[in-house]
A and B are shown apart, each in its own frame.
Chain A
Amino acid sequence: MSFEIPDDLRYRETHEWTTTGDTVRFGISDFAQDELGDIVFVELPDVGDTVEQTGEFGVVESIKAVSDIYAPVSGEVTAVNDAVFDKPELVNEDPYGDGWLIEIEVSDEGEFDDLLDADEYEAQIE
């Protein structure tokens, strides 16, 4: 089974993705949503909260597991995708699009160096 792994994103080993720049979006990878199965609940921080690269920023719950989700880079939350609260299945259906989770203003762009690129992430999940 091959998974979608967009080239323009960076990935955390724990299967979260982020866009690059000074304001970025986070989500979970196609591989992660497939592993979890049907997602039924998503817990996210509020706008204005701070997230740390070393810490979890929310929870994704599926019919078979509960997983903490970790921030690829640190920063302050500027937007939250409210749509996934009512329709958690968006994360399954469109993990890189409508199923995005939060947007943050990055506090240290150097942190991107700690992340995997698409090829490295692909090698990890193979």
Chain B
Amino acid sequence: MTTGGTPFAPHTDADVEAMLEEIGAGDESELFDIPEEVAFEGKLDIEARDEPAVKSDVSRMFARNDDLTEFLGRGHYSHYVPSLVDHLSMRAEFLTSYTQYQPEITQGFLQVLFEYQSMIVELTGLEVANCSMYDGASALGEAATLASRLRRVSGDTMLVPTHLRDGKQSVLENYCDGAGLVVETYSMDDGAVDVGALEDRMDDDVVAVYVENPTVRGVIQEELGAVGNLADEHDALFVYGTDPVALALLEQPAELGVDVVVGEADTLGLPTSFGMGLGLFATKEEYLRQVPGRLVGASDDDAGNRAYTLTLQTREQHIRKERATSNICTNQAWVALRTAMHAALLGPTGLVDLATDAVENASELSGRIDELSGFRAPVHDRHHFREFLVRSDQPAAAIAGDLETEGYAVHVVDDHLLQVCVTDTNEAAMDDLVAAFEEVAR
């Protein structure tokens, strides 16, 4: 509780007194109803320090990080972000702590978000994209609740692949728990969806089937139209997890019968950012009224000028409260702006080149590791995007530890499985990584 006025809560004691008197309250604490079992009565014990001291502490903390060349992926990917994106996105007109939605004063920002949505629409082939969710995991959760809202008949099962990142699975389960849905898995066959097993598993209880392409192990799945057909036959939604770079190369989800595309759009515009994301969400126009999140629309003003505004807000909780499509009223607007800038700078050709490199680098690097004794790569006999599994004769954790000593970071997936991710930001170190693998195998 702040009294006495601070630059951030500029109420003097007299102001507070006057306000309390006006509303007939004796004390500020009467305005809050905090259950005793969660109220914290102690001291927070936070030591106040000046800025230079904090800076030097933090620098010392950062210095404890190992300076490793990372070949890490599994959901977070590093692609080179042109410095122009920094310069443009840091302009004061864009960089505010508050997303700018008021159409009278913020046509520029709204136009950027509209452009972002348009790019996602173009990449997915679906008709509608929102201007982002928090991250890929929350977008997946929203897709599950969308599916349960759309379905006319009963059913409560969301099917996901066995190969799914734990964090994503746990966020999804959180969403599903509240919506009365259950999350169940279907099995994979050599790293891709086992269509036969999925067909056996499908019944009228299933509200949605989730497929990732590429998968968390980097596998590019083919023939996914069969999943679209299966979902259709059972009145279930086909939810598809991907990212904008992969979409530049892979078949458009709309062609496969996909109903909702989710994923991390921050593969463009952001460096690997320790959990920060940009939730991609696109769907069919027929589900427009059920889309969660914010939508920017374009129209003409009364003078005939192109004008942008948030639209269809009656889906949202500030209008409809308990009947809203989502309890999230916000998004990652500034990150979406950076993603749109990055995509625009690359252009369609640059985006396809980046995606092509992701396939070719993975193929080259896995091939070279495969030639070394004691390793087999890729483990799954399929095309890969950015990353792939390596089977190691020696325990994977030991190999990863030795690689770390050599200055390289890779994932440990299992007792004898490692995962390696290569993008444009670390491709120059491929030769060195192969040499390090050779070194540690001895």
Chain A: residues with CB nearer than 8 A to chain B? Answer: 41, 43, 46, 59, 61, 66, 68
Contact = CB atoms under 8 A, between A and B. Distances in A.
Interface in B278-325: 289, 314, 319-320, 323
Nearest to A41: B289
9 contacts: A41-B314, A43-B289, A46-B152, A59-B323, A61-B314, A66-B319, A66-B320, A66-B323, A68-B323
Q: Is the interface of A mostly helix, strand, loop or mixed?
A: strand
Given A41-B289, A66-B314, A66-B319, 5 more contacts: A43-B289, A46-B152, A59-B323, A66-B323, A68-B323
A114 to B, nearest CB: 25
Contacts of B289: 41, 43
Interface of B: 152, 289, 314, 319-320, 323
B230 to A, nearest CB: 24
B309 to A, nearest CB: 12
Contacts of B314: 41, 61, 66
A40 to B, nearest CB: 9
Nearest to A64: B314
B225 to A, nearest CB: 29
A17 B321 CA distance: 27
- Closest 5 pairs (CB-CB, A-B): A66-B314, A61-B314, A66-B320, A66-B319, A41-B289
A1 B102 CA distance: 34
Nearest to B288: A41
A59 B325 CA distance: 14
A93 B114 CA distance: 33
A79 B314 CA distance: 27
Between B289, B314, B319, B320, the greatest number of chain A beta carbons within 10 A of the residue's beta carbon is seen for B314
Contacts of B320: 66
A30 B320 CA distance: 24
A20 B340 CA distance: 58
B152 to A, nearest CB: 7
A42 to B, nearest CB: 11
A101 B319 CA distance: 24
Contacts of B319: 66
A61 B289 CA distance: 11
A41 B289 CA distance: 9
A68 B319 CA distance: 13
A43 B320 CA distance: 15
Contacts of B152: 46
Between A41, A46, A66, A68, the greatest number of chain B beta carbons within 10 A of the residue's beta carbon is seen for A66
Contacts of B323: 59, 66, 68
Contacts of A66: 314, 319-320, 323
Nearest to A63: B314
A82 to B, nearest CB: 15
